[in-house]
Structure formats: structure tokens, C-alpha cells
Amino acid sequence: MIKSIFWKLVLLILPLVLIADLAVLLGSYLITYNATMNKCREDVREAALIAADDFETADVSIKKDLQDRTERFDSLCNIMGMAYIYAEIPDPDKGCKTYLAIGYGKGALESAKEAISTGYVSDVLYEEEIRTFTNDEVTFCRDDTEYGDTIVCYVPVKKNNSSDNSGAEKETFCIVGAEMSVSDAVNTVRTRFSYIMFIIIVTSVLIVFIIAFILKRKIQKPVTLISKKMVGFIHERGNEFVPLQIKGQDEFAKMADSFNSMAYEIDRYIKDISKLNREKAMQETELNIAREIQNGFLEPKSFHAESADIHSCMLPARDVGGDLYDYRILSDGSICVIIADVSGKGVSAALFMANAITLLRQYAESGLSPSRIMVEYNDHLAKHNPNMMFITTFIGIYHPETGELVYSNAGHNPPYLLSDRLIEIESSFEAAAGIFEDEQYTERRIKIKPGDTLFLYTDGVPEAKSTDDSLYGNDRLRDTLSRNLHRPGEVILSSVLESVKEFSENAEQSDDITILTMTIPEIREYSLKLEAKTENIRIINDKLLSLDMEEESILTLRLIAEEMFVNICSYAYKNGDGTAEVRISQNGKKVRLVFIDSGMPFDPTKDILDIEDYDPDINIGGLGRFLTFEIADEYSYQYKDGKNILTVIKDFSS
């Protein structure tokens, strides 16, 4: 692959020169050919006219005179380069002609010399011969016969028929023809054209060499210097820059000046950028530390308990944000959930958020009611708030024993309750925290039943913008939530985030987005009384499929149920048939399986197989119990009122 611009230009110019040469050669050939043919026609005409003038004085009745004319025609052929010169009398009526005299030149064929002589009568009479003889006009034609390919000119010969040579009008009594060999004319063309072609080729070669010399000196050399300087610019970064010197006032000299200016500017720019990058790296390091500290203040994104399932997320508009969420189980078993939004964004909002979340946790764990937490929290922030920042806050405490949510709202977006329908939780429009001391906050209550989900959010959700600056809005939020009633909190959170993302169309996030969902698990309980026969395992499996669990979790439960039920069928009733009761209860992600039978006492939790000592040839059975209790999170056995009672608990939230 050719890389040099010099050779690229040469290879680009060379075909152009060749095309120009071919065009010139073709034109030259055509011009030379036409000029040569025209010259041949003139020579043939001149030879015919000379022969005709000479033959006017011939006496055709004297044989000696005709012989002399033949010899003179031979001489004229050699002088004028003709193949044939002859005098003939055409007979249009009979369509023949009689040769009176004929001369031969070097282009004449031997067959013609042998066949045609004085007195020879030919039965071939051309139209041009008849027209010359009858109309007294000079005519031309191309004659391609057995005697050669020739250019022919016919000239009429006139004589005075009166014996006294008076001034009576002369009449045509014969015609003179002169013929030149076409091959001789073509050879002449080739000879002339070869000289022209030689001159053109030599000239073209010289032009190419001259152009190549100019390209090499005026283009390749400065381009090479500029290219090397550009390549070496990066490697010379540590050294002092040496300007590029190219003499002259042409474009390359101007390019060299531009490169020198650009190099100085780039060098200065790189130094500035390096300084900025160092500063930016320090800032990013500090922001990363701030982000990690802020994330350290927040609780994990997911939390599962018997009384509630909680899912949350915080997406800051910048590296650090001013939103916060918090949840915790208090000493009395109630669950406190908090969401808040600091005015502004960035580091200052994050610092204010850290102070706020510390206060909220402190007051929540002290056992205060939501309204009292809000009062103490507001007063403390207002006393230590020189920048007059404020924070909207929602605090709710859920009491599982009553199903009641007690809450207080300091200027925050009203939460939603996803129950049998979408409910906007009623809130008073009270002042945001952190501005004025001695603010009072209202405390309200709402019932939450199992299966309901509490949805808390900051204004970054409804105020999310699309590329045309339109807002996501509360209507879209309500529509999204209404489509997700009775769905898990994790799914509700994901659906809202996906809806906001789809609406925003990759527009830059304008505000922090924080969401927290708290779902109260539905307790599902089933009791199956079955004959202690292994084929009844399918009834247990069908009931497990009705649980609101993932497929992988169902498979785990089926393994536990099958092993324990088969154990009852195999060992409890060795002396006859019996029944077994299987109780299934689901509370959120926790599932309890209770197996009850009236068979002989047997504690399956004792003498569990040690898998390291397991030998299938020696140990018969016991592997199923080992797998069951390895999978289970809790298990217990008791023999009460003549019944074996085995309880196995699996918590999929861990």
C-alpha cells in the first residue's frame, strides 16, 4: 500500500498524462492521415493533369508516338510516385475501354504489367470514367482490384478535330488516369506519425519528470517536514518546542506558521488542562468520599421483616444529593419510615441531609410520636441553619398490631397508599423544617391492611423533565401507580422509575429522585389433611404453586415438603394406614411448613447424617433429612398429644 503523498500524486498525474498523450496521438494520427490523403489526392490530380497536357499532342494513329508516350508515362510515375498513369478511350455504349498508353511506377503489380499494355481492351468501365469522358470533368475514386488498392484521378483529354487547327471547339477524345498505391500512402502516414509519436512521448516523459521534480521539491519535502514535526510533537512534549522552518510564501509556509502557532497554543492548553485535571481529580476524589459517606448514612435498599417489606432508591441529580430516606424497627416492634428533600443540590445539600438524618434517627429511636419528632427536629435545624436552607419531611410510624400508620408531614409531597384503589394520603400543608423555630405539626392516622403498599417519594419524580422541558407530573405518577395495585413494592418502584425514564427520553436529570415503598405482607395459610400416601405429594405441590413466590423459591419448598411427607409415609404408619396434616403459611418472604401425624413417635431432627461420613453402600436413607435441614432457616420437633409435629421455616428475604 502506497503511503507517500509524492507517489500518490505521481500515480495520479501519470494516468492523466497517458490519457492526454493518447488523445494527442489519436488527434495527430487523424490529422496526419487526412493531410497525407489530401496530399496524395493532390499529387494524383497533378500527375493526371501533366499526363493529360502531354497527351493532347499525341498522335494515336502513330504507334511510335504512343510508345513514346508510354515511356514518358513511366518516367512521370517514378517522378510523381504513381503506380499507374495511362490514357484510355472509354466506350460507354459497350461498357469497355481501350488503353492507348500505360506507364508503370514502383507501386505497380507484376500481374498488371503482364496483363495490361497498349491496345488492351478492358470490359470494366467505372462510373467516374464515363462522367469524366462525357462531362469533361476531373473525377476521383478509390479502386481496389486485383491490380492493387489505389487512389485514382481521371482527367479528360481534348483535341481539335479540324485538320487546319483553327479555333474550333475542342472535343474529348480520351481520358488520362493516374493511380497512387494506397499502401504507399499509408506508409507515408505511418512514417510521419512515428516522428510525431516519438516527439510526443519524449515530451510527455520530460513533462512527467519535471512535474515529479517540482512535486518532490515543492510538495513532498515540506509535507514530510510538517508530518515529521507533527509526529514528533507528542514525543517532544517534555522538551522545548523548536519551531518548524519552511521558506517561501506559499501555502506550506503558511501551514508551517499555523502549525507553530497551534503547537504553542496546544502546549499552553495542555498545561492548563493538566492543572485543571489535577484539580478535578482532587474534587472527584472528595466527591467520591462525600458520596460514600452519604450512602453510608442510608439504609440498605431492601429490607424484609414479618411485618413489612421495604424497598428504596435514591438517584442524585449530581454526584451527591439532598434527598434522604430512612427506615427502622423501633423498640416496641413498630416500623418508622422517613423521606425528606433538602432545598438545593450538591455538597451543601448533602451536608444538610447528613445532619437531618442523624437528628431524625435520634428522635425516632427515643420513642417520640411523629409530630413530636418533627417539632424537635425542626427546632434543632432552625437554630443551626445560617444559610436558611429548608427540608420537606414525611415521618410515619407503622404499628403492626393495629395496622395503623401514624404520620406527620412538613411540607412534603403527599404519599400514596396502594390498596384496593389508589389513595392519596391526606396531609396538612405545614411549613418545611429548618426555617422557623416553634413550628407545630399535625399528627394523622390511616389504616393499612395486609397486601397494601405505602409509596413515599420526593418531588424529583413529578418534576422530572423531558427534552422539551415538560414535566412528568402527578397525573402520570397516579396512572403508573394505579396500573400496579396489588403488586410487590419492588415492582412498583421499578415501574415508576421506568416510566420516568421513558418520559424523560434521556434528558438530563434536573432533581434528585428518591422513592421508598413499604408493603404489608399478606399472611396466607392453608391446611391439608391427606392420607399418608406418596401419590398425595402432588396435592401439596399444587398448593405451594399458589403462593406468591418466585419459581426458584417454590422449587425449594417442594423439595422440603416432598422429603418430609415421604418420611411420614415411610416411617410413621408401619403397621397400617394413617393420615397426615400439612399446614402452609406465608408471611411476606417467610414460609412456614408444619407436618403433623399420629404415627409412632419419631424425631427427624435427631441423628442427622454427617455428609462427610456418608457412604451410599452403608448408609441407607437420611440424605433427604440432611438436605431439608441444610436448606431450612429454622426447624423444630415436638411430640404432643400423641402426635409428631415438625415445623420447618424458610425465609427467602435473607
Structural domains of the chain, with CATH: 31-189 (3.30.450.20), 306-519 (3.60.40.10), 523-651 (3.30.565.10)
Instruction: Between 608 and 155, name the one with better pLDDT.
Output: 155
Q: List, for residues 584-595, the tens digit of each pLDDT value.
A: 998 878 899 999
Quote the percentage of the chain above a pLDDT of 70. Answer: 85
Query: What is the number of alpha carbons within 13 Å of residue 370 lying toward its C-beta?
Result: 25
Residue 408 has pLDDT above 90, yes or no: yes
Say how far apart CA 244 and CA 263 lie, in whole Å: 10
5-55 and 63-80 are packed helices; what angle lies between their axes, rounded to 10 degrees?
160
Residue 612 has pLDDT above 70, yes or no: no
559 close to 627: Cβ distance less than 8 angstroms:
yes
Say how far apart CA 237 and CA 487 lie, in whole Å: 62
Long-range CB contacts for residues 534-539, cutoff 8 Å, separation at least 24: 534/565, 534/566, 534/569, 536/565, 537/561, 537/562, 537/565, 537/566
Q: What contacts 42, CB < 8 A, 6 or more positions away?
A: none
Instruction: Provide the residue type at 471 as one letter.
Output: L
Residue 52 has pLDDT above 80, yes or no: yes
- pLDDT given at position 235: 61
Residue 167 has pLDDT above 60, yes or no: no
User: Per-residue pLDDT averaged across 540-559, rounded?
Assistant: 90
Residue 394 has pLDDT above 80, yes or no: yes
Q: Which set of grid coordinates corresponds to residue 642?
A: 400423641
Say how far apart CA 178 and CA 570 lie, in whole Å: 135
pTM of this structure: 0.52
- pLDDT given at position 87: 93
Instruction: Between 69 and 588, name the one with better pLDDT.
Output: 69
The sign one gets for the Cα dihedral 284, 285, 290, 295 is positive
Local confidence band at 208 (pLDDT 50, 70, 90 cut-offs): confident
The chain-wide mean pLDDT, for the chain, equals 85
Say how far apart CA 310 and CA 398 lie, in whole Å: 12
Most confident listed range (195-204, 256-265, 505-514, 554-563): 554-563
